[in-house]
Structure 1
Amino acid sequence: MGNDAAYWEWRDQILKAEYRAKGGEPCRVCEQPIPAKAHWKQRDRHVCSPRCNMNLNRRLNRRIERGEIERPPVFTPDPQPPREPRVFRTLPPGAPFPYEIQGYSPKPGDLVERHGSVTAVQRATDLPQHVIPWQVLPGENGQWDLDRVAVSIHVETGSAFYYVTDASWTPSSLILGSFLGLEHIGAFDPFEVGGERWQWYTEIIRDVDAEGNEYTWSAYVCGKESVPRLWTPAYVARSKRLKRESSSAASYAARMRKLGLEGEIERLDPQEIYERDGWVCQICRSLVDRRRVWPDMWSPTLDHKIPLTAGGEHTRENVQLSHWICNLHKGDRFLIES
């Protein structure tokens, strides 16, 4: 009950007076004047000091114990279903992106398959203690919290990579490195097993979630060659959009400063405006070829319906698609819609 936020909110509503004391009102406990500079919570409850506030709480507790006030029911959230382990595979040639990922990192029980090489992720505490290297075990100074140590195990060779994670099992910056059995082979040093050469590497992939927020997938994977940092198509598209927004806003801000004008500069993606207007020039009403680029006179550009020099602003409502030649011809004139 003590950790139930709804319960404490309920108590606060019971203890709160009709209005916040401004100073001089009598304390509900000792009847002394309430200082004008008392804490706002004490003034909300019309008590003069922390001591009286504590006594007010005790009075409420006694009333609850006597049954004069009924406590609200405890809210118990529905238990979350157990998470099913995932297998993150290498996708077939021709796929938009070569690898499966999800979230910030693989979690205990997951498998990461990369080009036929399989790495299994486990909790270090799930392993028998005699197979865990002494360098990983907590020392006299409690160097590691073993509950936060994860291990990636290479299925083909048995090599293990121990690392520290945060509460979500995402790898932290602290690396314990790779081992072959109980022998430490270095963090990312190549090693040979059965005549084949292997190497641990950090797989880092930038992606965007369903809400458009960027995140980084990171995993320790063993393979015959390392994989460079990768961006998913969604992340690339988002980066290009943000670059277009910044470039457009900076360009028009510089133009307005040069003209000595002031006005709103909204961050917007010109591509979004072009799509909104159906790739039709809003001045000559003919199609705009999206393949043309500046300085082609027929390339797409943003036109301000109300020109900047006439008080127009760089906002979605005031911009439209036009050919560059049409924009130049219009200049600072208003066009009357027919």
Structure 2
Amino acid sequence: MGNDNAYWDWRDEQLKAGERAKGGEPCQVCGEPVPARAHWKHRDRHVCSPRCNLTLNRRFNRRIERGEITRPPVFSPDPQGARPARAFRTLPAGSLFPYEIQGYSPKPGDVVERHGSVIAVHRAVDLPDYAIPWQVRPHSGSSWQLEHVALSVHTQTGAAFYYLTDHTWTPTSLILGAFLGLKPLDDTFGPFEAEGGTWRWYTEIIRDVDETDQEYTWTAFVCGKESVPRLWTPAYAARSERLQRVSRATGSYAARMRELGLEATVERLDPLAVYERDGWICQICKTAVERERAWPDMWCATLDHRIPLTAGGEHTLLNVQLAHWICNLHKGDYFPVDL
């Protein structure tokens, strides 16, 4: 679905604050010291916490929106319309995910179909002058050019949604939800009556990951009978679950080693990946571990350290293995001499 690894590499490089912080350096957001045990990406950016990292990201996004920073294209823009048009459809019932998406957003020439409702994306500069509302035209005090204005047109009713984009045709901000002569039911960009039904514009936001496991967000302005909430693709949900497992396991073993007064490597690793590597076979008793069993079942899956932490072992991929919880407890701090 996505194809944007270069963008994320570029973004990480832009947010770096020089040498990686070792601990004690001032946070570039709030000024508090950066902890020595902070996430490596936070230390690269010289921020002290996830909250400050989020603030830094938001500031960076606003600079992109204001045009102070130009980001590399996700898909090569084609202002002449030579790029083949793409159609993003509603997938059949029973599909893993209900909608087709690709990249950050639909581009001019693309069509988005959602449950029978169709919108087509156009460039404002391709419209005749009489079809461009005055609110959309650049005027005194406006910061955009008409070349960077796109619109989604609802093919069933003719309603249009005008928005500002960057040079990749990715939406950055709303300009006007114009109904082109259609009467809205209230003073907002909310529901309106047309073609014997009630329609509404909504922002479709979908989180996904690309082939390199980097996350990105699809954004499209869609008109339909019902609005769609923010969605995660199965790939994005699986990535989130994996990152949560990694964080829980890393934090748990780091805390345990601090309690023991030990200084050793704590590698970020996914316990489930270790279980899959070992084929769901306990590496102590050599019998199968049932995936369905969960803690505190004595026969559930656990991570066992081949060389125990108390004997100088480290929490690394090479030093961990799958074991039943009861086998792990019986083994304790023992380990074979040949290791």
* TM-score under structure 1 length normalisation: 0.74
Comparing 191-200 and 224-233, the one that deviates more: 191-200
- Counterpart of 1:163 in structure 2 is 163
Instruction: For residue 177 of structure 1, report the CA deviation from its aligned partner.
Output: 2.8
Matched with 2:305 is 304
Q: Distance in 1 between matches of 2:149 and 2:295?
A: 54
**Structure 1 runs, 4 residues or longer, greater than 4 Å off:** 182-187
- Identity, % of aligned pairs? 64
Match of 2:178 in 1: 179
| Aligned-partner SS, 2:276 | helix
TM-aligned CA deviation for residue 183 of structure 1: 6.8
Secondary structure of the residue aligned to 2:299 is coil
Residue segments in structure 1 that go unaligned for 5+ positions in a row: 1-79
3-state SS in 1 of match to 2:242: helix
Q: Which amino acid aligns with 1:176?
A: I
- Is 1:127 the counterpart of 2:137? The answer is no
Task: Call closer, same or farther: CA 1:187–1:269 in 2, change over 3 Å.
Answer: farther
Q: Which amino acid is the alignment partner of residue 132 of structure 1? A: I
What is the number of equivalent residue pairs in this alignment? 258
1:20-70 Cα distance to aligned partner (Å, 9 max, x none)? xxxxxxxxxxxxxxxxxxxxxxxxxxxxxxxxxxxxxxxxxxxxxxxxxxx
Amino acid at match of 1:327: N
Q: Alpha-carbon deviations, 1:163-186, whole Å to 9, x = none?
A: 0011111111x2123112167956
Q: How does 1:321-336 map to 2 (within 5 A)?
A: 321-336=322-337
Q: Is the Cα contact below 8 Å between 2:89 and 2:114 reproduced in 1?
A: yes
Q: Secondary structure at the match of 1:138?
A: coil
1:267-316, CA deviations, whole angstroms, 9 ceiling, x for partnerless residues? 00000000000000000000100110000000000000000001100000
**Number of the residue aligned with 1:226:** 227
For residues 201-259 of structure 1, give each alpha carbon's deviation from its aligned partner in whole angstroms, at most 9, with x where no partner exists. 00000000011100000000000000000000000000000000000000000111111
Separation in 2, partners of 1:286, 1:112: 52
Residue 90 of structure 1: SS of its match in structure 2? coil
| 2:191 alignment counterpart | 190
What code does the residue aligned with 1:278 have?
G
CA distance change for structure 1 residues 162 and 187 in 2, over 3 Å: closer, same or farther?
farther
* Matched residue type, 2:117: S
State the Cα RMSD in Å. 1.8
What is the identity, as a one-letter code, of the residue corresponding to 2:177? S
Moved more, 211-220 or 81-90: 81-90
- Say whether 1:153 aligns with 2:148: no
Deviations 1:102-123 (A, max 9, x none): 0000000000000000000000
Higher relative contact order, chain-length normalized (CA < 8 Å, sep 6+): 2
Deviation at 1:83?
A: 2.1
Asked whether the 8 Å contact 2:200–2:225 carries over to 1, the reply is yes
CA, structure 1 residues 194+183, in 2 after alignment: closer, same or farther (shift >3 Å)?
closer
Where in structure 2 are there 5+ consecutive unaligned residues? 1-77
Amino acid paired to 2:180:
G
CA distance in 2, matches of 1:251, 1:298: 20
Separation in structure 1 between the aligned mates of residue 188 and residue 286 of structure 2, nearest angstrom? 62
8 Å Cα contact 2:182-2:192 kept in structure 1: no
| Distance (Å, rounded) in 2 between the aligned partners of 1:267 and 1:138 | 51
Q: Matches of 2:246 and 2:82 in 1, distance apart? A: 42
Contact 2:90 2:115 in 1 (8 A): yes
Question: Which structure has the greater CA radius of gyration?
Answer: 1
Q: Which amino acid aligns with 1:179?
A: A
- Structure 1 residue 188: deviation in Å? 3.3
- Find the counterpart in structure 2 of residue 209 from structure 1: 210
Residue equivalent to 1:99: 99
Distance in structure 2 (CA, Å) of the matches to 1:147 and 1:157: 25
| Residue number in structure 1 paired with 2:266 | 265
Q: 1:82: how far off?
A: 4.2
Q: In the aligned structure 2, how far is the partner of 1:337 from the partner of 1:115?
A: 63
Q: What letter corresponds to residue 283 of structure 2 in structure 1?
A: Q
Q: Which residue of 2 aligns with 1:319?
A: 320
Q: Secondary structure at the match of 1:286?
A: coil
